[in-house]
Amino acid sequence: MSFARYLYLIVAAIVLCALLVAGLAEGKNSGPVEGESHLIPSWASAAPMYCIIAAVGVIWLGWYHLKLARSITSMANRLNNHHNPHTPSPGNRGLKPLNKAIKHRLQDYNQHINQLQQQINNLQIKIQLTQRQKKHTQAIIYSIHDAVIVIDEFEKLLLANQAAGKLFAFDFKNAQHKPIKDLIDHNKKQFVDFICRGRRARVRDTKTEIQFIENGQPKTYHCIVSAVHDENRQPCGVVAVLHDITYQKHIQQAKTDFVNHVSHELKTPLASITAYAEMLADDEANDQQMVKEFCSVIQNQARRLNRLIEDILNISRIESGLIKVEKKPISLTILIQEQLQMIKSYANEKNIEISCPRPIVFDQVYADKDMLSQVIINLLANAVKYTPAGGSVKIQTQVDEISKQVSVTVTDTGVGIPQDELPNVFDKFYRVRANKNQAQGTGLGLNLVKQIIEKVHRGTVFVTSKPGQGSTFGFKLPLAARVPVQT
Ligand code: ADP
């Protein structure tokens, strides 16, 4: 109970007692006056009763005021609680557990949302990584020189790199998801058949060699088709890789040709040597003159054999770095004139005119004389060999004082070499297809020239040619340092 209520009760009790005492005292002093009727009480005799009524009225008023005050306080509290919801009030005391539960649930939801947000972030990072990896893989596939084609289980194009687009003449972006058989030209049908067969057979790897004609030239590709599996190890397509092996095939063929050729080249002189030696042994040479002729044939064939074997050995020695080199200053003009004598009879046989270089004041190079002689002989012999009768061969030397180099060129009016074969003429065993029937050879001479000039003497070889008009083969070597003349 509040202090105001206590105060009110005390004051009310005091007032009541005081009025009672006053009323009783008044009643005693004013007893009924003689002659007055006892039935009609006087005002004085009714005073105590008035006092009691007044006291009751005061008490009621006090009580009423207290009640009013209490309800005002209660309203004020409620208003206060409305402004401050945290303050527990009798009204919302039942909502407290509900409020708590909702708060907990909200906290759970918040946590859950945070976790989901984190998962979304992680997924976004993973997607970015996957996209980057995909681009990386695509870049790798696109940069491969070999043609790469991937088809799905419906034989539709899934992926193709630039080399494949170029080989099969399609643009990947437009060709994607189209049936492979609609994309590839009919003359490359064998590839379509091969890749589709590979898909149907679901084999791990299958290989073959496929030949296409490109720009009128045969091209050979080594083709491997492998099954592509999805993450559940189920075959979902095939990948085909086509590697251009035209050059290797060419070299392989050239080697086979070389072995056949060399054996033929070896057999021919050996056969004549054997035959003439047998004739001599059987005394089939009738006179001294005939014996001489037989011996001369045997000698020539033996030299030819020797040259061939020497060429093969020299190339392999230079390649392995085992050749013995003896360099000294040599005048190129003098060396050329010496070698010319050896070729003259051959040129005369074919009625080919050879013109020599004019002597130059200083054309010395620091070189191995035997090797350089071999170079000049090979170039001169080829010029005569591949020039039809009645043609001409011109040898020139030129000194470039600025670059300190001397160049030698051998120009003929021969059959010439097609432009696309020029880069290969210095290759080992390489023989120009169109000129094969012109003369016999091994395809080793020019390779030996290149090895001697470039590997042994740090010079360069070059060639220009026009089919039907002739060729110019040549080389450049550094000039030897001039030694002051001693007087
Ligand atoms: P080969 O023994 O066949 O002559 P080389 O290595 O000397 O071998 O020459 C390689 C090929 O280059 C020859 O087969 C020939 O077709 C071509 N060749 C070389 N020199 C000439 C030339 N002066 N004119 C035309 N073709 C040439």
- Find the 298 Cα to ligand 1 centroid distance in Å: 26
Quick one: which atom of ligand 1 is closest to the CA of 410?
23
Quick one: which atom of ligand 1 is closest to the CA of 442?
2
Burial category of 145 from C-beta neighbours within 10 Å (exposed 0-12, middle 13-18, buried 19 and up): exposed
Supply the pLDDT for residue 37: 40
Burial category of 380 from C-beta neighbours within 10 Å (exposed 0-12, middle 13-18, buried 19 and up): buried
- Find the 47 Cα to ligand 1 centroid distance in Å: 163
Q: By alpha-carbon position, which residue is closest to atom 8 of ligand 1?
A: 443
Evaluate whether 424 touches 450 at the Cβ level (below 8 Å): no
- Find the 358 Cα to ligand 1 centroid distance in Å: 26
Mutational test site, ligand 1, from 307, 377, 446, max ligand atoms within 8 Å of CB? 446
- Find the 314 Cα to ligand 1 centroid distance in Å: 18
Quick one: which atom of ligand 1 is closest to the CA of 435?
16
- Find the 381 Cα to ligand 1 centroid distance in Å: 9
Side chain identity, residue 299: Q
Q: What is the pLDDT along the chain (487 residues), one digit of tens a residue?
A: 556 666 777 777 777 777 667 666 655 554 444 434 444 444 445 566 766 777 777 778 778 777 877 777 777 676 666 555 555 555 556 678 888 888 898 999 999 999 999 999 999 999 999 999 989 988 888 889 999 999 998 999 999 999 999 999 999 889 999 999 999 988 889 999 999 988 887 777 889 999 998 888 899 999 999 988 888 888 888 999 999 999 998 888 877 876 776 777 678 789 989 999 999 999 988 889 999 999 999 998 898 788 778 888 888 788 778 888 999 999 998 899 989 988 988 999 999 999 987 766 778 999 999 999 999 999 999 999 999 999 999 999 999 989 999 999 999 999 999 999 999 999 987 889 888 888 877 788 999 999 999 999 999 999 999 999 999 999 999 998 866 544 4
- Find the 102 Cα to ligand 1 centroid distance in Å: 97
Quick one: which atom of ligand 1 is closest to the CA of 444?
6
Q: By alpha-carbon position, which residue is closest to atom 20 of ligand 1?
A: 382
- Find the 385 Cα to ligand 1 centroid distance in Å: 8
Mutational test site, ligand 1, from 304, 420, 430, 431, max ligand atoms within 8 Å of CB? 431
Quick one: which atom of ligand 1 is closest to the CA of 387?
24
- Find the 82 Cα to ligand 1 centroid distance in Å: 111
Q: By alpha-carbon position, which residue is closest to atom 23 of ligand 1?
A: 383
Q: Which residues contact 280 (CB under 8 A, 6 or more apart)?
A: 291, 294, 295
**Measuring CA to CA, how many Å separate 260 from each of 126, 246, 354?**
62, 21, 33
Mutational test site, ligand 1, from 307, 382, 411, max ligand atoms within 8 Å of CB? 382
Q: Which residues contact 435 (CB under 8 A, 6 or more apart)?
A: 386, 415, 417
Evaluate whether 141 touches 159 at the Cβ level (below 8 Å): yes
As for ligand 1, residues whose beta carbon falls within 6 Å of it are 382-383, 386, 412, 414-415, 417, 425, 430-432, 435, 441-447, 471, 473
Supply the pLDDT for residue 95: 76
- Find the 431 Cα to ligand 1 centroid distance in Å: 6
Q: By alpha-carbon position, which residue is closest to atom 18 of ligand 1?
A: 382
435: left (phi over 0), alpha (psi -120 to 50) or beta: alpha
Question: What's the rounded Cα separation, in Å, for the pair 107 and 398?
Answer: 95
Supply the pLDDT for residue 192: 92
Side chain identity, residue 70: R
- Find the 406 Cα to ligand 1 centroid distance in Å: 24
**pTM as predicted:** 0.49
- Find the 334 Cα to ligand 1 centroid distance in Å: 25
Q: Which residues contact 93 (CB under 8 A, 6 or more apart)?
A: none
Supply the pLDDT for residue 32: 44
Quick one: which atom of ligand 1 is closest to the CA of 383?
23
- Find the 359 Cα to ligand 1 centroid distance in Å: 28
Residue 171 has a CB neighbour count (10 Å cut-off) of 10
Dmax (CA) of the chain: 221
Which 8-state DSSP code applies to residue 431? Answer: -
